[in-house]
């Protein structure tokens, strides 16, 4: 799988945070609910996303086997003032990152992560505790085997 190191600029975003374990079925359920929540808010608030949806995986807790997931959309700076309740405003991850483009079902994303982690270890670096995904294609309109997901891991 080809990887590339890219420089990512921060973008304003609106998001909701959820907690999940590593089981693919659990992540899928949490993601579906979270995207429903943020999508509903964006619709009610009259916000137009400024890019494709994303999920930021962070704060892995070895003790509980759970992580935090920020699920949201990049938005125009002016729309960050509309955040309320569980919807927060912030910025997308930024800086140098290793990027891979995953083609296929979300359930096989672990293979891409495994390849990325192996690459990072091979070049003598530590696998970061943060990763994020940008969902380029719409799963409601794209056959599962054609889904495109950009996967990022921060690099020094």
What count of other Cβ atoms lies within 10 Å of the Cβ of residue 122?
A: 8
SS3 assignment for 128-149: CCCEEEEECCCCCCCCHHHCEE
Q: What is the mean pLDDT of each run of 10 residues along the chain (156 residues)?
A: 93 98 91 97 97 96 92 98 98 96 95 95 91 96 97 93
The pLDDT assigned to 62 comes to: 81
The pLDDT assigned to 22 comes to: 87
The pLDDT assigned to 60 comes to: 86
The pLDDT assigned to 90 comes to: 98
Strand pairing partners for 97? 6, 154
Instruction: Count structural domains, the chain.
Output: 1
Query: What CATH number does the domain containing 114 carry?
Result: 3.20.80.10
Q: Which domain holds residue 56?
A: 4-154
Please tell me whether residue 78 adopts helix, strand or coil conformation: helix
Q: Quick one: which of 97, 1, 5, 9 has its CA closest to 50?
A: 9
CA atoms within 13 A on the CB side of 59: 9
Q: Quick one: which of 51, 57, 16 has its CA closest to 34?
A: 16
């Amino acid at each position: 799988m080809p990887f590339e190191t890219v420089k990512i600029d921060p973008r304003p975003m609106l998001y909701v945070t959820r907690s999940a374990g590593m089981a693919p079925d659990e992540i899928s359920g949490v993601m579906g609910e979270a995207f429903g929540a943020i999508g509903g808010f964006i619709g009610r608030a009259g916000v137009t996303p400024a890019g494709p949806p994303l999920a930021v995986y962070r704060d892995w807790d070895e003790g509980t086997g759970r992580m935090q997931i920020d699920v949201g959309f990049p938005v125009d700076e002016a729309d960050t003032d509309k955040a309320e309740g569980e919807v927060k405003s912030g910025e997308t991850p930024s800086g140098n990152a290793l990027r891979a483009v995953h083609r296929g079902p979300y359930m096989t994303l672990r293979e891409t992560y495994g390849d990325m982690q192996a690459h990072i270890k091979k070049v003598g670096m530590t696998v970061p505790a943060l990763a994020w995904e940008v969902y380029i294609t719409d799963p409601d309109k794209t056959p599962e085997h054609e889904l495109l997901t950009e996967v990022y891991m921060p690099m020094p």
